Amino acid sequence: MQNQYPLWKYILIVVVLIAGAIYALPNLYGDDPAVQISPRHALADNAIKEKVENGLKEVMLKPKLVSLEQGKVLVRFDNQKQQLDAQKKLTKLMGDGFIIALNLAPATPDWLKSLNALPMYLGLDLRGGVHFLLQVDMKSAISQSLGRYVGDFKTFLRSKKIRYRSVLIQNESIEILLSKKVNPDEALEYLQQEYSELKFAVRQQNKTNAIFANLTPVTIKSEQKSAIEQNIITLKNRVNELGVAEPIVQRQGSDNIVVQLPGVQDTAKAKQILGATATLEFRLTHGSYTDWSAASDSGRVPVNARLFKQRSGDPVLLKRQVIVTGDQIKNAAAGFDGESGTPAVFVDLDGKGAKRMQKITAANLKKQMSVVFIENRTTTKYVGDKPIKTTKKVSEVINIATIQDVLSHRFQITGLDVMEARDLALLLRAGALKAPVEIVEERTVGPSLGQDNINQGIMSVQIGMALVFIFMLVYYRLFGLFANIALVTNIALIVALLSLIQATLTLPGIAGIVLTVGMAVDANVLIFERIKEELRNGMSHQAAIKSGYEKAFTTIADANITTLIAAVVLFSFGTGPIKGFAITLSLGIITSMFTAIMGTRAIANLVYGGKNIKKISI
């Protein structure tokens, strides 16, 4: 009997079809506008869920569903108006300890969720939002780590009773000028023992002995890696503070970080917060007002002090010693000073910081303490066509106050305006960036364009497919119908696979699907033309079907494998949009092999197989 498939092949096809249908299904349910509530420092629990539910009742809002998902309370609504209304009211209701974000929650039914069947993730070009590519300033990361060694060296040399004239950073290495009587080899040995991660060398510098320390390539690499990782953590914190649902923060290449914020419209604010490197330092003031202006005028600064500028532009001398730095801040909140009513930032210190603050303020009661606001500003200037990046550290004294009491865990800072206080509190909570970043790429898609892209994408797929369907039916008749069934199955399988691997569907991705539709037909055209040819050569109907499928197979395999090679190369070289295209194209090629060859053969076998036929409809 010719043209009959063994049972297992039918079973395989049916199983793939069912699995494909289940995993493609969630995409038909669409999204609910939702508000997502998550506590800043913990996971949400049932108590918080109840609080949200009661709160919503109070303000007369009727949500579609309130659920607890992955440590967040998700409130779904019927329309966007309710959603926006709820966001406003919940922000007021829940207070500062919660992040309230807008979200589009997939309306996937529970039975599908329990099978891990989720809809595809729509790319920013389809749902709207911002995409940033941030470049991490690696040079600055390296010079910062050199800066740490300068202080360490001084302490270490003093502890070993080795006298030095100066320790300075010179062109990516540290130069230690030793005093005349010191034996350089002995100093070198001590240093090498203590700092095995560095490379040391002794050289004569203006008749004095100098030791040069360099970071080894391995150390440089690990410093760069930790700079990127630390920055990613900080950026994630900041993005969370911005109240964005489902943000993406990830590394790209050696020194870039991708940040994607779906649904964000206020890009100016987002840029400011992401790129900001602001932090705080607390220092004691040095001398009196007359000393400050004298130092500023003469340029002579006392040994243990540094000259700073206040907001007003007036000079001020501060002690070199830093009491507490920004990274010892555990929490910060913006608010208003209880007495004066001016904007203030309330700061919580960690244990170590609090102990230090207590010790120093206790010893310096009635003296003055300053808050220094430090910001790294990166600017790109062009020399000819070459971009030159410079990072400038801008330090500003925002507040000078007399220490009235012994401070420890909790205190407040004033001297900022409302916006500054809010931003500073946010930045202090999120932590500082280890190395400055610069935005080198931005793509923002407004919500109206996103919807247009979806509509146009779907419409062109529908029309394109309809045209192909009609052509195939007219040209190949019953076999054309087989091919059309295979084509629909093919698209369902691509969608199912994309959903299963939770790939991101972008506009170029849709283009990839459209192209696969065109190319999937090719396999069937090859087979059908071959069957026609064999019929013309006088073969029997059954033999022609068999021979058509068999002879076309090597051709289809060769042709598809070469296209797959091109798609894989595209995937490995491309970024963003090209990757999306390559994924759908590769998946489409693989699924089309299954549907166009095995699928149509199965139907043809069911219809014609093992029968004595006089005529086939092709």
Nearby residues of 237 by Cβ (< 8 Å), 6 or more positions away = 429, 430, 431
d(CA 282, CA 595): 69
What is the Cα–Cα distance from 615 to 618, expressed in whole angstroms?
A: 9
| Cα–Cα distance measured from residue 137 to residue 148, given in angstroms and rounded to the nearest whole number | 17
| Interface residue with other proteins, options 525, 543, 590, 606 (CB under 8 A) | 525
Q: At what angle do helices 418-430 and 267-275 cross, to 10 degrees?
A: 50
Which one among 443, 481, 543, 590 touches other proteins, defined by CB under 8 A?
443
Contact status: 216 vs other proteins (CB under 8 A): no
Using the rule CB under 8 A, which residue among 61, 156, 464, 590 binds other proteins? 464
Quickly count: other Cβ atoms within 10 Å of residue 556's Cβ: 19
Q: Is 529 in the site for other proteins (CB under 8 A)?
A: yes
d(C-alpha 281, C-alpha 299), whole Å: 23
Q: Which of 304, 379, 390, 502 binds other proteins (CB under 8 A)?
A: 379
Under rule CB under 8 A, residue 426 binds other proteins = no
444 binds other proteins (CB under 8 A): yes
Interface region with other proteins, contact rule CB under 8 A, candidates 62-70, 138-146, 410-418, 512-520: 512-520
User: Judged by CB under 8 A, does residue 420 bind other proteins?
Assistant: no
Query: Residue 490 Cβ, how far from other proteins at the closest point, in Å?
Result: 13
Residue 543: CB minimum distance to other proteins, A: 15
SS (H, E, C) 360-371: HHHHCCCCEEEE
388 near other proteins (CB under 8 A): no
Residue from 53, 152, 396, 533 that binds other proteins (CB under 8 A)? Answer: 533
Q: Residue 533 burial by CB count (10 A; 0-12/13-18/19+): exposed, middle or buried?
A: middle
Which residue of 15, 21, 394, 467 would you call a contact of other proteins, by CB under 8 A?
A: 467
The Cα 216–Cα 146 span in angstroms is 12
Single residue of 63, 123, 431, 457 touching other proteins by CB under 8 A:
457
Residue in 207, 366, 381, 614 binding other proteins, rule: CB under 8 A = 381
- Of the candidate residues 200, 336, 553, 594, the single one contacting other proteins (CB under 8 A): 553
For residues 481 to 510, the per-residue mask of contacts with other proteins, x marking binding by CB under 8 A and - elsewhere, is --------------------------xx--
Residues of this chain, 90-149, that bind other proteins according to CB under 8 A: 125, 132-133, 135
Q: Is 555 in the site for other proteins (CB under 8 A)?
A: yes
Under 8 Å between Cβ of 439 and 115 = no
Complete DSSP assignment for 415-482:
---HHHHHHHHHHHHH---SS-EEEEEEEEE-HHHHHHHHHHHHHHHHHHHHHHHHHHHHHHHHHHHH
Q: Which is nearer to other proteins, 102 or 133 (CB)?
A: 133
* Options 471, 501, 610, 611; binder of other proteins; rule CB under 8 A: 471
- Residue number with CB closer to other proteins (261 or 333): 261
Residues 445, 454: contact at Cβ < 8 Å? no
**Integer CA distances (angstroms), 180 to 13, 176, 183, 188, 462, in order:** 86, 12, 8, 15, 85
**Number of residues counted as binding other proteins (CB under 8 A):** 89
Q: Rounded to the nearest whole angstrom, what is the least distance from the CB of residue 269 to other proteins in the complex?
A: 9
Q: Please identify, using beta-carbon distances, which residue of 184 and 574 lies nearer to other proteins.
A: 574
Q: Shortest distance, CB of residue 173 to other proteins, whole angstroms?
A: 27
Of 192, 205, 310, 563, the residue at the interface with other proteins (CB under 8 A) is: 563
87 counts as binding other proteins under rule CB under 8 A: no
Choose, by CB under 8 A, the member of 71, 351, 518, 610 that binds other proteins: 518
Nearest residue (CB) to other proteins, 246 versus 255:
255
Of 127, 238, 429, 601, the one binding other proteins by CB under 8 A = 601
Contacts to other proteins from residues 251-270, by CB under 8 A = 265, 267-268
| CA atoms in the 13 A half-sphere facing the CB of 416 | 24
If you search the block for the tokens 């940033």, which residue do you land on? 132
**One-character DSSP codes across 144-170:** HHHHHHHHHHHHHHHHTT--EEEEEEE
**Out of 317, 497, 503, 521, which residue is the one contacting other proteins (CB under 8 A)?**
521
Quick check: 448 binds other proteins (CB under 8 A)?
yes
Q: Does residue number 61 form part of the binding site for other proteins (CB under 8 A)?
A: no
CB closer to other proteins out of 250 and 321:
250
The two structure tokens encoding residue 443: 């793509």
- Min dist. Cβ of residue 135 to other proteins (A): 8
Q: What is the DSSP letter of 245?
A: S
Determine the Cα–Cα distance for residues 25 and 499; give it in Å rounded to an integer: 9
| Distance, first Cα to last Cα, the chain | 21
Q: Which two tokens stand for residue 272?
A: 């400011």
Is residue 31 within 8 Å of residue 106, measured between CB atoms? Answer: yes
Neighbouring residues of 613: CB distance < 8 A, sequence distance ≥ 6: 541, 542
Choice between 289 and 573, CB closer to other proteins: 573
Give me the least distance between CB of 438 and other proteins, in Å please.
7
Binding-site member from 66, 107, 478, 519 for other proteins (CB under 8 A): 519
CA separation for the pair 223, 221 (Å, rounded): 5
